[in-house]
Structure 1
Amino acid sequence: MEVGCRCFEFVPLKSFKELCLAQPDPDLVCLVKGCKWLPSKCKIFAWRAGLDCIPTKQALVRRNIISDSDECVFCQEAQESVDHLFTGCIVAMKVWSGISSWIKSPPLFAFSFKDLMDFYLSSGGGAPAKDVIRGIIIAACWFIWKARNEKIFNNGKGDWLEIVGMVKSYSFFWFKNRCKFKDLDWVEWCKFPLYML
């Protein structure tokens, strides 16, 4: 498709993965590879958020797309940036508190999105446990973003308990259907998602 003097073409997912793996920053690459049980949309979202390429209000104001308030849709206490939305907002902090108690880890405190994505490195257990925790964190970021959009476009509640519930149910579904653990038990998963390891 030709637009002006620039040529644009659609890139298939395989080419996207190759492009991501060619990136020089290993912190961003690790978000795309691994975590095979997560859908690609969640991994791509985390990759884009790590690059500060998602349309937060701060990014939209910076690009002159909106000119009204750039306050966080959840707390209205700070500018809605990637770091604030996922680590500094009171709703996000409550989500991380709920996730921490669910995965039985020390409280999850992060000051930036990168800190959040690196949390799994400090968690106990072997590689399979770290993969589950990393996937849960990426899924939680995805559902925080979905709740944010729901609040903006459909007057949603933005309830942190609902977000944690979505993380538990969807991560169970994704993990059960994309991993070797086909006989996962929902009740046990809700108590502790690493029970089978």
Structure 2
Amino acid sequence: MTDWDRNGDALVAPAVARNRAAILDVLRGVLPGAGTVLEIASGSGEHVAHFAAALPGLAWQPSDPDPAHRRSIDAHARAAGLTNLRPSVDLDASAATWPIARADAILCINMIHIAPWPATEGLMAGSARLLAPGGVLFLYGAFRENGRHTTESNAAFNADLRRRDARWGVRDLETVADLAARHGLRLETRLDLPANNLALMFSPELVLARS
């Protein structure tokens, strides 16, 4: 759904340059000092390359189900030349199993509103499998709250998403939090970020059986 520019295999999303600093400011305060961060739906790969450069103590694992996106992620990684940024992997959030066994943190930016609801269901189930106590699931994007859009621009954004694909749309924060809770993930923090977006942090309430 994203409008991207192209430079060879590397895709460029203009929105990344606008939001990556604000997201990074939050991540500095919530991510562990060391460990593995799995990014779900890495898209162009620009976010993960930026974060890996800024937080070198963490190993960053990008992922995406789209081969063109994975080529872009790897192109940005090559250009960055970072030893803590791993090659991308094929991961569909809605799948019952993922090609990663564990993670200390999971990052998902602007996915759940441009994917069918089963992707969010799979994201929560997979995060519960991979995260140990002390881990964090970080979500960023637009959300409805108390059954209403927070701004007229978000309402227009939702209408555009729904026109593109009826399975997409800005999700209700309460519905997402309830789904997370059913998988043992508690909403710990909600932060307002620029451009009417939210940052949400979830943590495991208990250790669930892992596949």
TM-score, length basis structure 1: 0.28
Q: Which structure is higher in helix share?
A: 1
TM-score, length basis structure 2: 0.26
Q: Which structure is higher in strand share?
A: 2
Higher relative contact order by CA 8 Å / sep ≥ 6: 1 or 2? 1
